Amino acid sequence: MHLRISMGRRRCFSFYNSPLFFIIQFSLFIACISVVDGESNLNKPSFTLINRDLYHTSGALMEEIEALVHRHSDKLSIETITSKNKGYQSEITVVTYCRNRKEIDDRSKFRILLSFGQHGRELITSELALRLLSILSEEEFLPNVDPTRLNNTLDKFVIKVIPMENLNGRKVVEAGDLCERRNGRGVDLNRNWSVDWGKKEKDYDPYEENPGTAPFSEPETQTMRKLSISFEPHIWVNVHSGMEALFMPYDHKNTTPDGLPSQKMRLMLEKLNHLHLEDRCLVGSGGGSVGYLAHGTATDYMYDIARVPIALTFEIYGDGTASSKDCFKMFNPIDITTFNRVLNDWSAAFFAMFSMGANQVDEFHLKTSASNSDKWVSIDDYLNGYLMERRNRYGKKMEVLELGMQEIRTYFRLFLLSSVLLMFMFCSRISKSSRPIVSAITL
């Protein structure tokens, strides 16, 4: 602790110039320092700083990924998507993996979309993105996995990886605000999606959960939404830290979806937990397992609106013993042993999920190929946010309407109800005039 003491000019009275005065003053000074230091040591928690020996800076991590792509341009490609809204700009880098670059647009392949670093303080998630890309490029290998067999499996996939969705928020963390999870203008990107957007629980904390001014108000979520529409993934995983969990929909309510596909999704997560994660993880819906409901999340949108068959949230690490203000330690491993364990365990879990998920999606598609139900969405979905989707006659998704006010859903329902009532009254009046109708029919 550093104290600067400023001594003003003093008048030369005999007592103030005496040795006794200086002895008393020095004693009081030492006592004050002891009290202040004592209070500081008792009340102020020790904060863990970013371990630069383990973690890349955001710039260094992206440079390493770009170099990786350059070395393996036969199977990896990279693009940066820039978006701007009201003077605020975001950049999202997307890395695409396909073993044969010519087959990237082959719609028969299984499509996987992975997002890391949605919250700035969760540095470990972007390190996992780098590890997965290193394995995909074959610069690193999974232990106890036959590379030939793995490559045969990966031949079926196109995988898009967003290593750092919230680059602006990450820069705020690197500047010293280690607890920041929001983007560069203070919006939580995982509360800015349209499903149940804007609802606030009793313990709502704007620092943690600010949903923005409207669904998709942020350039980052606008970019991710457009990517989900154009790519049409079969599997979506949003990767976070803060605990160890394998979550499926829903986040905004304490239930999981009905039906056999949902049951199989849960069984797949339980198997991953047992085989690769030593049964450490919570498994179930985010809203039912994490202890609070989250509204406007990416995974609920992907499942309910984008119709991604397997939409998941992975929580890959958390230190429950850390102080709530010691955010780096709470959300990121701080020693090399734990760091490597997290990356190794979750890399194995991801590649196992790719294979298991592809089989599940394939079976689901075979059972529903004769159904046209996926070509339409409900009125609730249609009116639940900016982006509402419907397939055109060629089966391609398109944007048809953007709405900025949640109240329109209510007004539309009232309009439908009044229309039905008017139609009923009109039909009742016609039914009373049966003769004119019969005459019209006979003509």
pLDDT (tens digit per residue) in 47-64: 899 999 999 999 999 999
Could you tell me how many helices (H) and strands (E) the chain has, helices first? Answer: 15, 10
Specify the pTM. 0.76
Whole-angstrom Cα distance, residue 180 to residue 193? 19
Q: Residue 361: which pLDDT band, with cuts at 50, 70 and 90?
A: low
Q: Residue 165: which pLDDT band, with cuts at 50, 70 and 90?
A: very high
Whether residue 386 is predicted with pLDDT greater than 90 in this model: the reply is no
Q: In the prediction, which pLDDT does 385 show?
A: 41
Residue positions counted in the chain: 443
For residue 438, what are the CA distances in angstroms to 76, 102, 424? 71, 66, 20
Task: Name the superfamily (CATH) of residues 58-373.
Answer: Zn peptidases (3.40.630.10)
263 or 360, greater pLDDT: 263
Helix-helix angle 123-136:336-368, to 10 degrees: 70
Q: Which of 180, 220, 315, 389 is catalytic?
A: 315
Whether residue 149 is predicted with pLDDT greater than 80 in this model: the reply is yes
Cβ-proximal residues to 120 (8 Å cutoff; 6+ apart), any chain = 166, 168, 169, 170, 171, 172, 173, 180, 181, 182, 183
User: At 154, which amino acid appears?
Assistant: L
Query: Residue 285 — φ and ψ, nearest 5°?
Result: -75, 145
Mean pLDDT of 401-429: 63
For residue 413, what are the CA distances in angstroms to 84, 182, 406, 409, 417? 34, 35, 12, 6, 6
Q: Where are the extended beta strands (E) located within 310-387? A: 310-317
Whether residue 233 is predicted with pLDDT greater than 90 in this model: the reply is yes
440 or 104, greater pLDDT: 104
Whether residue 328 is predicted with pLDDT greater than 80 in this model: the reply is yes
Whether residue 199 is predicted with pLDDT greater than 90 in this model: the reply is yes
Active site residue 315: yes
Q: In the prediction, which pLDDT does 26 show?
A: 54
Q: Which two tokens stand for residue 335?
A: 């020693």
Q: C-alpha 355: how far from its chain's center?
A: 22
Instruction: Enumerate the domain spans of the chain.
Output: 18-47, 58-373, 407-442
423 or 298, greater pLDDT: 298
10 or 161, greater pLDDT: 161
39-43, 256-260, 384-388, 426-430 — which one is most confidently predicted on average? 256-260
Q: Residue 421: which pLDDT band, with cuts at 50, 70 and 90?
A: confident
Q: In the prediction, which pLDDT does 415 show?
A: 74
User: At 440, which amino acid appears?
Assistant: A
Whether residue 9 is predicted with pLDDT greater than 70 in this model: the reply is no
Whole-angstrom Cα distance, residue 195 to residue 305? 8
Whether residue 398 is predicted with pLDDT greater than 80 in this model: the reply is no
Q: In the prediction, which pLDDT does 225 show?
A: 98
